Amino acid sequence: MLPTSRIGSSLLALVTGAAIFLGPLAPAAPAAPVTPTRAAAEGDTEPVFHAVSGGTRINVAGVVRSELTAASTMRVKTAPRQTGNKTAGVNLLHGLVKAEGVETSQKTTRKLGGGITVTSEAKLADVRLLNGAITVKAIVTTASATIDANGEVSRKGRTKLVGLRVADHHIPLVVPKNFGLEIPGVASIVLNRVRGQIGGDALIKSEATGIAVTLLEPRDGLSAGASIEVTPTKASILLPKPINGDPAFGFAYSSRVAVHAGDAVNVMSAPTGIVICPAGGTNGVELTNATTRARLPGVVDVQGLANTADAVVTNRLTDGKMIAHIGAVNLLGGAITLDAITATSRVIQKGDRRAKKRAHAEILGLVIGGNPIPVGVEPNTVIEIPGLVKVIINEQTRLPFPYNGRAVRALHVIALPGAPDDIAGIDIEIGVAAAWVNR
């Protein structure tokens, strides 16, 4: 189990976006302390810089079918700050969307003469859409928003597409903004899509998407009108909104794979299907990030990912619940298998009373090294596959001050000293959820 100081660092990273996902529930370096969002209600009018990006996203009838893959996000009030995420690849809906080398990042930078720019970026390599109807060797999409020393705002967005092919269409070497085309009977497409907004619910918003596809006919389990976005990015400058109560915090994700070599950490697969709880609650709507499958050949194969955030925040009650739902799991080529996981973390704060904190994991059909494991084993049970890995089942952690809550990993798989080279240093998390309020 990790030291509590490191677990605390991870919570900071996930909430503030001030560090890269680098350790189990933790980044390699600590981030700045989380400030209770209640401060916004005390007359804070400083702008907030928010950025988010992902490798891909699929929507059906306005409902997210597959949320941002390799998502990263940042929400800060100053510069310079940066965050990022990366994963080995994406394969959604049996090859409908495939890509390698997914990488996302955000940063804020100070301008000469005053002001701050917030930038959001997404990169993909070897992209195949619609089972090869659209291919591209590399995509880099960037969206940025700027406020200068005089309070004036501006935005930019662009995408660089390398080696792009769309059926029989001729595509310009430099693709103009919002370049539209169609594959008859299959899909309408917008390349280098750029959009924005000034005023309304933000000082300014800047959005850019490398490839936006709308299906003209049903296919691969998606209805006509479903949209597929590749490298969606957004950068915004916001004014803080008051929160009437104690802010809720939390996150849940399905899987994460890293390799530890000395003090270095190499992320093989970043958190999949991650969902983060908004500090002001979810307004009566359960937020869900669902993905059909996450796969790292020979290491992790996870199916049926659906992670949720549900939080109520009022002046009398804060009730936050994070859940990681997962279907069938196969780890390390079948050394560890299971049928389903539900990992839940919940925190309830009523006024000045002591917060109630609960975390647990339910695992069905777990088999480790050929041995079936009963349902309902004690928290933090450890089982070893000699010479390979140790497995911590239903790993529960009390979060350190100033975080008042609990975290749970349904499974935590760690390579043993002397493990074979192909898994040496490996660290796998399956079914992770955490929920907390600030003390």
CA-based end-to-end distance of the chain: 24
pLDDT for residue 94: 66
Residue 3 domain-assigned (yes or no): no
Helix, coil or strand: residue 9: helix
Region of 273 (left: φ > 0; alpha: ψ -120 to 50; beta: rest) is left
* DSSP annotation of 80: S
234 shares its domain with 248: no
Q: Is residue 37 part of a domain?
A: no
Residues 79 and 150 in one domain: yes
Domain boundary among 188, 218, 238: 238
State whether 396 and 295 are in the same domain. Answer: yes
Please report, for residues 214, 219, 242, 259, 376, the alpha-carbon distance to residue 130 in angstroms, rounded to integers and kept in the order given: 11, 9, 44, 33, 43
Mean pLDDT, 10 residues at a time, over the chain (439 residues)? 33 31 28 30 67 82 58 85 78 75 92 94 93 93 95 95 91 91 94 90 91 91 86 90 82 85 57 82 82 77 88 92 96 96 96 92 96 93 96 93 90 94 91 90
Whether 285 and 417 share a structural domain: yes
Phi, psi of 132 (to 5 degrees): 100, -5
Considering the domain architecture, whether residues 186 and 302 belong to the same structural domain is answered as no
Q: Are 287 and 311 in contact (CB under 8 A)?
A: no
78 and 165 belong to one structural domain:
yes
In the three-class reduction of DSSP (H, G, I as helix; E, B as strand; rest coil), residue 204 is classed as strand
Q: Where are the beta strands (DSSP E) in 220-328?
A: 227-238, 249-261, 264-269, 275-276, 287-296, 300-313, 317-326
Phi, psi of 340 (to 5 degrees): -165, 150
Q: Are 34 and 222 in contact (CB under 8 A)?
A: no
Q: Which pLDDT score, from 0 to 100, does residue 438 have?
A: 82
Of 269, 270, 275, 272, give the one whose Cα is nearest residue 252: 275
Judged on CB neighbours under 10 Å (0-12, 13-18, 19+), 44 is middle
DSSP string, 334-403: GTEEESEEEEEEEEEEETTSPPEEEEEEEEES-EETTEE--TTPPTTEEEEETTTEEEEEEEEEEPPTTE
200 and 286 assigned to the same domain: no
Name the residue type at position 431.
G
Q: Among 253, 248, 249, which Cα is nearest to 410's?
A: 253
**Residue 18 placed within a domain:** no
- Integer Cα distance of 174 and 17 in angstroms: 33
Q: Residue 297, preceding bond cis, omega within 30 degrees?
A: no
Cα-Cα-Cα-Cα dihedral of 230, 236, 240, 243, to 10°?
A: -10
- Residues 191, 143 share a domain: yes
Judgement on whether residues 249 and 232 belong to the same structural domain of the protein: no
Chain-centre distance for alpha carbon 399: 21
Of 238, 261, 280, the one marking the end of a domain is: 238
> Would you say residue 203 lies in a domain?
yes
Q: Judging by DSSP bridges, how do beta strands 63-66 and 249-261 pair with one another?
A: unpaired
User: How far is it, in rounded angstroms, from Cα 297 to Cα 290?
Assistant: 21
Per-residue DSSP letter, 270: P
Q: Give the count of domains, the chain.
A: 2
- How far is CA 404 from each of CA 25, 184, 357, 424, rounded to the nearest angstrom? 16, 55, 8, 35
Specify whether 323 is located in the same domain as 374.
yes
Q: What are phi and psi of 72, to 5 degrees?
A: -140, 150
